[in-house]
Amino acid sequence: MRLLSILCLGVAVQTAWASPTLRVIDGVRSKPDAWPWMAAIVYANQQPNEGQFCGSTLIHPSWVLTAAHCTDGETRDSIKVLLGRKKLTEEDKGELIGIQRIVKHPFYDYNPENPNADLALLQLEKPVSYPILRLADQYSDLIQPGEWGTVMGWGAQRYDHSRPSEYADSLQEVRLPIVSNAVCNAPLSYHGDVQESMLCAGFVEGGKDACIGDSGGPLVVETNTGWQQVGIMSWGEGCAQPDYYGVYTRISFYQDFITKQICEPQDTPSSPQLFVHIQGHYATVSWSKVKTAEGYQFYYAPSSADLSSVTVDNIQSFDTLGKVRLSERLNSGMNLSVAVRAYRGNCYSDYSNVGTIIIE
């Protein structure tokens, strides 16, 4: 197995292929106005088209998100972040921004084959005004098997007999289906190496994938409120190899850690006050509008005494698309606990008070 960015640094992959595989490998060039939050990580002493070695995403005006292994051996002075440029050789576009701080997840284990908690945050030396990418909520259902995601990067576009091609000058993208961890852990695939904090995407026949130089970049899915990031390119066996999917850090698993690192008090909305009204089989849930909020995430689960595991282990959530009132006809015997959080970018309020819905 291999870390994509380690390959960027020249460590050879040991698995040879019988024939060359095209890629991101078999991707397409991104449109100039697409993915405005996509960023390249480059060596500070090289030009971007020569020194790009990992991807990242802008998730806060002062922070980008990448893979922890992309920062192994690096300091805040050795790397920079490039934003606003899709074609690396277009020197008149975008800006190179220095790094103030590197924050790796404390459980990152430096495993050279299948790293755990492969996540790092880079604090920029100054805030920027580019659009940010929202992260998937930890209780959302955006990563169901069969759902389609998109990955992107400036990495190798061809992989021939364990040798990567030169990296792409223009940002490339490819669509991939999300695969269950059970399938990804099959004996003919990763045989149990994929943990619950990881997720997989790709085709069983291979042929399309992220590759060398794409590490740290995003796996994103399209939602009713725009694109959201569900994964960080982390590791895999070769590139686009049959039976071996790309493995990504599962964003939702680390949402609390990320928001605690990047969100200041002035970024965080106040908590809404929630109200529940029951009339027959109709339940209406409403909440106070929060002035600084950009939206609201609604949470629901089977109700239980003292919020036992029956509730805590079965929480689901969805974005209300800005609504502050929901009404639904429910079946007899329905018993739910509900709550809501306001958000601004990737910074969330505390939970509202918990409401209970009981339909006799």
Which residue among 69, 214, 337, 352 is the active-site one?
Answer: 69
The rounded distance, in Å, linking the Cα atoms of 267 and 342 is: 11
Question: CA torsion sign, 327 to 328 to 332 to 337?
Answer: negative
Which residue among 30, 215, 317, 352 is the active-site one?
Answer: 215
Tokens 């495993």, located at residue: 111
Q: Is 313 a catalytic residue?
A: no
Which residue among 5, 118, 137, 286 is the active-site one?
Answer: 118
Q: Is 215 a catalytic residue?
A: yes
Tokens 């440029």, located at residue: 85
Question: CA torsion sign, 101 to 106 to 110 to 116?
Answer: negative
Paired tokens of 215: 């590490």
The rounded distance, in Å, linking the Cα atoms of 319 and 296 is: 6
Q: Are 177 and 201 in contact (CB under 8 A)?
A: yes
Distances (CA, A) of 246 to 5, 18, 132, 348: 14, 20, 24, 30
Paired tokens of 44: 């500070």
Active site residues: 69, 118, 215
